[in-house]
């Protein structure tokens, strides 16, 4: 039964009734991850990629206090242009709803609302994780949410500004499978080379759907499907490290930490790379949305076969 406090777009509601595949899309990349007008362009391209894969896109946000699954184009535009959009992790959903805020949802909050809408697949750029040793202690709520909410998150691994081996260790401790889409390495967002090994390699959307469905049947909750950034836009590791070192120095000098740190570093990296990281980010977001549509369709086929 759907949560009564959710607002669904007409298209999403119809897709649920008709048991069509759906993909939830997080909205912090619109409000906080990319600049105008790239943010709106990327949001529209991600939705188009989901449709091209035969699924229905459901961009998730909190709209003036109402948890919303399936934003209109007008709402996407407002998220992209409004200067004071609240950034809501799972912890912040109550505040966003109770105080009537306009809020963009992180991966963890998107998972919560997607699950409430019976959506099993979510797409994003890169998940959060454990920050590097030189940064203040910071573990993303995305990791804990993956351990308690049965949603498959399609991503390009964790953001490359993070401590990826530690992130993988935490995911293992929490019992979260990390599936590599045609890769044995854990992708590093828009960096060409991964860092660490995935727990399982899959070669197709159907294999990913089968593994996730089995994981949930056994009492597991969320899982990750990690796809490397497309090779033609991926950033070489040595260049990225030099840019990141300078970005971190700027962050420390400015006293940037906590929720503001990731958007700050990503903006710094985009500036230092002459926009290359931004292009890679945009490209992998769209690629992940398309893969998520394929997996959502495969999960639907599995359910149909099981019922038959």
Residues forming the active site: 26, 159
Backbone CA torsion sign across 258, 285, 282, 85: negative
CA 165 distance to own-chain centroid = 19
117-159-65-3 Cα dihedral, nearest 10 degrees: 20
Whether 24 contacts 113, CB under 8 Å: yes
Q: Please name the residues in contact with 47: beta carbons below 8 A apart, sequence gap of 6 or more.
A: 25, 57, 59, 289
CA distance 6 to 4: 6
Helix H or strand E encompassing 175: none
């Amino acid at each position: 039964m759907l949560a009564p406090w959710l607002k669904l777009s007409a298209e999403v509601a119809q897709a649920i009734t008709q048991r069509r595949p759906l993909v939830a899309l997080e909205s912090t990349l619109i409000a906080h991850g990319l600049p105008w007008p790239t943010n709106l362009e990327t949001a529209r391209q991600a939705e188009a990629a989901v449709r091209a894969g035969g699924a229905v896109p459901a961009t998730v946000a909190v709209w003036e206090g109402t948890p919303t699954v399936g934003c209109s184009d007008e709402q996407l535009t407002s998220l992209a242009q409004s200067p004071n959009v609240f950034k809501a992790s799972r912890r912040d959903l109550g505040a966003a709803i109770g105080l009537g805020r306009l809020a963009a949802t992180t991966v963890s909050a998107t998972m919560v609302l997607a699950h409430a809408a019976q959506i099993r697949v979510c797409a994003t750029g890169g998940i959060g994780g454990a920050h590097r040793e030189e940064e203040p202690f910071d573990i993303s709520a995305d990791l804990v949410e993956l351990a308690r909410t049965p949603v498959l998150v399609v991503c390009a691994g964790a953001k490359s500004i993070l401590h990826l081996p530690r992130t993988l260790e935490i995911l293992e401790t929490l019992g979260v499978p990390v599936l590599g889409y045609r890769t044995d390495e854990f992708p590093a967002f828009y960096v060409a080379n991964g860092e660490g090994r995935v727990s399982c390699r899959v070669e197709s959307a159907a294999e990913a759907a089968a593994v996730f469905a089995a994981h949930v049947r056994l009492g597991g909750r969320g899982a990750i499907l990690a796809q490397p950034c497309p090779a033609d836009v991926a950033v070489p590791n040595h260049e990225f490290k030099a840019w990141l070192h300078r970005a971190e120095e700027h962050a420390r000098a400015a006293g940037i930490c906590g929720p503001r740190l990731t958007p700050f570093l990503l903006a710094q990296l985009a500036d230092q790379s002459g926009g290359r990281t931004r292009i890679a980010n945009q490209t992998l977001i769209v690629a992940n949305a398309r893969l998520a549509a394929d997996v959502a369709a495969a999960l639907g086929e599995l359910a149909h076969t099981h019922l038959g």
